[in-house]
Amino acid sequence: MPRVSHPHRWHLVPLSLALLLCAGARAHAEDASAWDTDQYSALRLIAGSTGKDVPTLRAGIELRINPGWKTYWRYAGDSGLPPNFDFGGSDNVKSVTVLWPVPKRFPDGAGGNSIGYTGDIVFPLQIVPSNAGQPVTLRLKASYGVCEKICVPAEGKAQLALTGEPSSADKALTEAETRVPKVAVMGAPGPLSILSARRETSIAKQRVIIDVAAPEGAEVNLYAEGPTSQWALPLPEPVESGKDGTRRFAFDVDGVPPGATIAGVPIKLTLVAGGEAIEVTTHLD
């Protein structure tokens, strides 16, 4: 009797393997890493979706701070420790850009003011792969400060494979991205604007004067950063308001590295009013 073949049987094993492989791929393509918990905080990476043919991947660092504690912005203000995010151990990653949502200003307990965050904060990330279309694994080593009445250093590690596929963390990541200050130019029209910035040299100590426009009745804060982390400029303070909705801030030229001058260097100004913020880079003559 001739042997009867059953071609359909030969397809059962490959199909089963395919289903298992797909399930395995879904299991490894997580939307978030595990939490790495410190004494007063916790940290993890979250994944975001990316549009078709977009070369930059989206992700975020989610930092959870215990009630009553706080952490810091990229410039801490009068005191504090800015976070340091290291992605050097990542696979197929050319560059990572950290975006910083609008921070808060709060007393530092020593007569000054710091700049930072409380609660749960997401720092959006923009990742450029070294080789587009190849697997990307993001590895993070973080060091940051958390403060209540005292300040303590904290550390965290996280690892996450990024695929660009839809993620359950997309909503949180998108909300954080909308809170990043918008890049603007000096004098640009709008309800929120940095109108001018100049040095005042006619007094014994140099001072910088900044005029801004902001919605009437809004709580307004202004932050000034030098070109490198060695600069520690004072927080601009409000000095007067105009009837036309303009407000004036000023700060003494202090916290400049030895041998440096504020004239001609790029100074970044971040203007915050309510939940809105803009960022302007200028050079003082």
Check whether residue 39 and residue 168 sit in a common domain.
Answer: yes
d(CA 102, CA 271): 9
φ and ψ at residue 16, rounded to 5 degrees: -65, -40
- How high is the pLDDT of residue 15? 42
- How high is the pLDDT of residue 109? 81
Average pLDDT, the chain: 88
| Alpha helices per DSSP H over the chain | 7-10, 12-28, 170-178
- CATH number (domain holding residue 131): 2.60.40.1250
Banded model confidence at residue 1, pLDDT cuts 50, 70, 90: very low
- 180, 211, 239: which is the final residue of a domain? 180
Check whether residue 135 and residue 111 sit in a common domain.
Answer: yes
Q: Look at the chain and report how many structural domains it folds into.
A: 2
Residue pLDDT, tens place only, 231-258: 999 999 999 876 677 899 999 999 999 9
- How high is the pLDDT of residue 60? 98
Establish if 239 belongs to a structural domain: yes
Domain that holds residue 235: 183-283
Establish if 18 belongs to a structural domain: no
Check whether residue 191 and residue 262 sit in a common domain.
Answer: yes
d(CA 249, CA 241): 9
Check whether residue 55 and residue 115 sit in a common domain.
Answer: yes
- 180, 206, 229: which is the final residue of a domain? 180
Establish if 17 belongs to a structural domain: no
Check whether residue 137 and residue 205 sit in a common domain.
Answer: no
φ and ψ at residue 13, rounded to 5 degrees: -65, -50
Listing DSSP states for 108-131 in one string gives -SSSSEEEEEESEEEEEEEEEESS
Residue pLDDT, tens place only, 136-158: 999 999 999 999 988 899 999 99
pTM, whole model, 2 decimals? Answer: 0.86
Check whether residue 160 and residue 254 sit in a common domain.
Answer: no
Check whether residue 164 and residue 190 sit in a common domain.
Answer: no
Residue pLDDT, tens place only, 10-51: 343 344 444 344 443 443 458 999 999 999 999 999 999 997
- How high is the pLDDT of residue 249? 96
Average pLDDT, stretch 82-88? Answer: 97
